[in-house]
Amino acid sequence: MLKRQEELKLSPYSSLYDVIVPKDNELRLLLEMVDFDFIYDEMASKYCLDDGRIAVDPVQMFKYLYLKVLYNISDRDLIKRAKTDMAMKFFLGLNPEDDVIHPSLLTKFRRQRLKDSNILNLLISKSVQVALDKKLITSNKIIIDSTHTASNYNQKSPIETLRAKSKLVRKNIYKVNEDIKSELPVKNDTNDLEKEKIYTDNLLKKVEEHPELIAIPAIEQSFNSLKETQADIKEYQDYSEDADAKVGHKTKDTSFFGYKTHIAMTEERIITDAIITSGEKGDGPFLQDLIDNTRERKVNVDAVIGDRAYSGKDNIKAAEEKNFVLVSGLHPVMSNGSRKKEDMWDFNKDAGMFICPEGHIAIRKRLEIRKDRPNYNPSMKYYFDVKKCRVCPLRDKCFKGKKSKTYSVSIKTDAHKYQKEFENTEYFQKNIKTRYKIEAKNSEMKIKHGYRTTQSSGIEAMMLQGAITIFCVNMKRIQKLDKEKKEKSNKD
């Protein structure tokens, strides 16, 4: 049963917050900026309103997830810290003496309550609206880029995942006390998942018998990570393999297994839209959606700044039709010719190769020039690994048992003449240099807020992680810009 948490209950200790949590504390400022009641509207359909026991307040649960991303810690470390951190308790709407939730509730909340929700668009829209209300967005230029997030499961089975994490626990313990080896349970050497889960349980119990070991940060962190993974696999075994993640390519020779987040950001470094896809998707096809969604949020877009991945023929045409300037360096092979949209393949500008719909990258390319027809544009032919094509799920439609599989594109020499000339203008050269801002934002999300790897498996879990991470970095940026604006106003 859902019941609103209207306000703090009366407590003789509530006044402690006025002493312990300063007025400029980021969590206190966040509460002043954002009315979190919008979470109720989104979550109401996920709860029974008049039957069953009273559920933990969904706003409070959302705030727990926000804190997890803000401080980049595990569920168990978060709950442990929340027991004694008064700023956290104040933010969560708890009295100083109130107890916190059990960490397992966070897993259930992510999987059950936030499933099928529109949380990504909801949180981006909310943070952008806060920025607009405070008049912090004044530019009319958008910077776009994508960033990758590696799957935490890294193409491993549940057994392999548990073994990797339990190995790290043992390794950290042996650094401190090698004599404990004889006390630890015998490792499971079979491929039986149930036996591996039993071994993991026994290992966790044995480590818990030595609180002096858990007090060591490295052991505590790996211990909590193993415990969280074990709980996730027990509760949702179907999710322990990431079926939605795909192989993407950062360069021709380096790849990752996971997801991509396609981002639009203002020059003030406020993210105005994000689209999350599997890792094999190209960047260029998402430009128009990013701009349309940004404009729907009442942000003016007169110019779009991006790398060469966005200089395809369709995007250059869209810039003219939708009235914005495209500041993107031209790549000679970004055109898919006259193919239908469903037959177009993605171009990976980092690797300089095309990628087929199943996510396989071309292994080589060759320039073809028609000497007998000099008026024809030259083309670039991309060759794919036939061994992979023979076992590909799309082989009947795409490969059809041929000796080779190729994909050719025309190299446009005249059609992009205007864009090529535009690259040499002072306006282009000045604005393309601002791309570093979005690269810095991607780094912030990965290094400070755990966006380098997924917290759980599946595209829905990735969208939730992306939503809260983007909301977090946006609100941090808004607080900084608002503070700078007030300081400047006071000086004037």
**pLDDT score recorded for residue 155:** 56
Task: State the DSSP code for 159.
Answer: H
Cα(98)–Cα(476) distance, integer angstroms:
27
**pLDDT score recorded for residue 239:** 42
Cα(353)–Cα(383) distance, integer angstroms:
10
| Of 319, 295, 293, the residue nearest 306 (C-alpha) | 319
Number of H helices, E strands in the chain: 20, 11
Cα(455)–Cα(74) distance, integer angstroms:
9
**pLDDT score recorded for residue 46:** 66
**pLDDT score recorded for residue 327:** 94
Handedness of CA 470, 472, 475, 477 (dihedral sign): negative
Measured CA distances, 40 to 196, 237, 411 (Å):
40, 29, 53
| Of 466, 249, 245, the residue nearest 345 (C-alpha) | 249
**pLDDT score recorded for residue 135:** 95
**pLDDT score recorded for residue 20:** 93
3-state SS assignment for residue 80 = helix
| Of 288, 283, 281, 356, the residue nearest 317 (C-alpha) | 288
Digit-by-digit pLDDT tens for the chain (492 residues) are 455 555 546 788 888 999 999 999 999 999 999 999 888 877 766 666 666 566 778 889 999 999 999 999 989 899 999 999 999 999 999 999 999 999 988 888 887 767 656 889 999 999 999 999 999 999 999 999 999 999 876 556 778 888 989 999 999 999 988 888 889 999 998 888 889 999 999 999 999 999 899 889 889 989 988 888 887 776 555 444 677 888 887 776 777 889 999 999 999 999 999 999 999 888 999 999 999 999 999 999 999 999 988 988 788 889 989 999 999 987 655 444 555 555 667 778 777 788 888 888 888 888 887 667 666 667 788 899 888 888 888 888 887 777 788 888 776 655 466 777 788 899 999 999 999 999 999 999 999 999 999 988 888 889 999 999 999 999 999 999 999 999 888 887
Cα(362)–Cα(405) distance, integer angstroms:
9
**pLDDT score recorded for residue 172:** 92
| Of 114, 438, 131, the residue nearest 307 (C-alpha) | 438
Handedness of CA 434, 256, 189, 458 (dihedral sign): positive
pTM of the model: 0.76
**pLDDT score recorded for residue 52:** 56
**pLDDT score recorded for residue 116:** 58
Cα(45)–Cα(41) distance, integer angstroms:
8
What the block records as the tokens of 289 is 């959606």
Task: State the DSSP code for 72.
Answer: T
